[in-house]
């Protein structure tokens, strides 16, 4: 069976900016596949190329074995695309928007009414169907957008940052829905710069940085590759620097400790990378006690996707996010996304 999505050596530049330098990935049918990376990493451009909105410089794009560049109409039929910014016509009601959507995908006239009704029920939108979309909340707007993207029952649903700007309640609804969708056989390809979103949803993840895929696998594979456990230690709520230094030297000497960092942003707490073993916490506390240092808090965890990102790029996702934010040119980006 052909992969649901196949992207090979995709390249796209805008002027001087290499938005996508070399992205290759393969999504198997029935998976939720996550593209994780900071803003400006090239995730949106990749999706726009896949959904025929942007012409790539070079590369191969296929959905369910159909070439996107050679057969764009057939590819569009297979894909459902939900953009990051929900573009609804605020004068239309939800039902009218879905009616338009049905016609754009040429659904048979006799089936449209019940199809729309079923989709409204599925996304719990029935009560709002005949209100103008201008009156909708953010969560409702996203749900209607999802309904629109799914109305023609695409084999592959493509979502760009599906929960950006949503409250926790709405996020959870969307997450649950996407899982259901996957379980019923639809392939889901989504981008996110939220670690927890990818962690919670994705069967496989590709980490994208500066237009390149830098790591790919299941979330737990990626974490295992990074190796070790993470220990966060707080000597006091706000430890003085000297004490933190002293503890760092002490702990570095322990055989199972691989790395120690002092996190000044969190009251000089200590971030340790340790070999995965259960007694780490007790040993650390004992060692501190022997030199008369207290323990305010200590926790051990498996590495997160952020650690994966950190190991691959040398900076945390948050730092990359902040750096990308200061470099962004919203005007140029708007232009790229206008057709």
Enumerate binding residues for another protein (CB under 8 A): 29-30, 51-53, 64, 66, 71, 73-74, 76-79, 81, 83, 85, 87-89, 91-92, 96, 99-109, 111, 114-115, 118-119, 121-122, 132, 148, 152-153, 155, 180-181, 183-187, 334-335, 337-339
Which C-beta is closer to another protein: that of 265 or that of 338? 338
Which C-beta is closer to another protein: that of 175 or that of 256? 175
Which C-beta is closer to another protein: that of 148 or that of 215? 148
Beta bridge partners of 232: 271, 299
> Shortest Cβ distance from residue 25 to another protein (Å)?
20
> Shortest Cβ distance from residue 210 to another protein (Å)?
25
> Shortest Cβ distance from residue 208 to another protein (Å)?
21
Which C-beta is closer to another protein: that of 119 or that of 215? 119
> Shortest Cβ distance from residue 15 to another protein (Å)?
14
Angle at 142 between CA 136 and CA 147, to 5 degrees: 105
Strand order in the sheet with 269-274: 257-263, 269-274, 229-234, 297-301
Take residue 35 and report the two structure tokens written for it: 């593209």
Which C-beta is closer to another protein: that of 154 or that of 228? 154
> Shortest Cβ distance from residue 337 to another protein (Å)?
7
Between helices 94-104 and 138-150, what is the axis angle to 10°?
Answer: 30
> Shortest Cβ distance from residue 241 to another protein (Å)?
50
Which C-beta is closer to another protein: that of 92 or that of 262? 92
Sign of the CA dihedral 336, 149, 20, 194?
A: positive
């Amino acid at each position: 069976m052909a992969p649901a999505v196949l992207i090979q050596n995709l390249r796209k530049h805008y002027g001087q900016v290499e938005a996508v330098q070399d992205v290759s990935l393969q999504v198997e049918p029935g998976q939720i596949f996550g593209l994780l990376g900071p803003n400006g990493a090239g995730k949106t451009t990749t999706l726009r190329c896949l959904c025929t909105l942007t012409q790539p410089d070079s590369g191969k794009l296929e959905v369910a074995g159909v070439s996107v560049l050679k057969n764009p109409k057939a590819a569009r039929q297979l894909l459902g695309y939900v953009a990051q910014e929900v573009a609804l016509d605020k004068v239309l009601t939800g039902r009218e928007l879905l009616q338009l959507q049905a016609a754009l995908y040429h659904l048979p006239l006799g089936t449209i009414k019940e199809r729309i009704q079923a989709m409204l029920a599925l996304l719990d939108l029935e009560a709002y169907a005949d209100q103008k979309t201008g009156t909708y909340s953010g969560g409702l707007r996203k749900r209607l957008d999802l309904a629109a993207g799914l109305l023609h029952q695409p084999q592959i649903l493509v979502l760009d940052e599906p929960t950006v700007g949503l409250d926790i309640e709405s996020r959870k609804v969307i997450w649950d829905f996407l899982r259901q969708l996957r379980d019923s056989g639809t392939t889901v390809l989504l981008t996110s710069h939220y670690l927890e979103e990818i962690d919670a949803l994705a069967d496989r993840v590709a980490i994208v940085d500066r237009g390149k895929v830098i790591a790919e696998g299941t979330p737990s594979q990626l974490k295992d590759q990074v190796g070790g456990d993470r220990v966060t230690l707080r000597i006091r709520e706000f430890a003085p620097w000297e004490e933190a230094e002293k503890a760092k030297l002490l702990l570095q000497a322990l055989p199972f400790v691989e790395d120690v960092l002092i996190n000044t942003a969190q009251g000089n707490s200590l971030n340790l990378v340790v070999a995965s073993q259960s007694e780490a916490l007790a040993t650390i506390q004992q060692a501190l006690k022997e030199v008369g240092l207290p323990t305010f808090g200590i926790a051990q965890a498996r590495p997160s996707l952020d650690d994966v990102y950190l190991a691959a790029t040398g900076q945390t996702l948050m730092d990359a996010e902040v750096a990308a934010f200061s470099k962004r040119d919203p005007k140029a980006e708007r232009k790229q996304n206008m057709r």
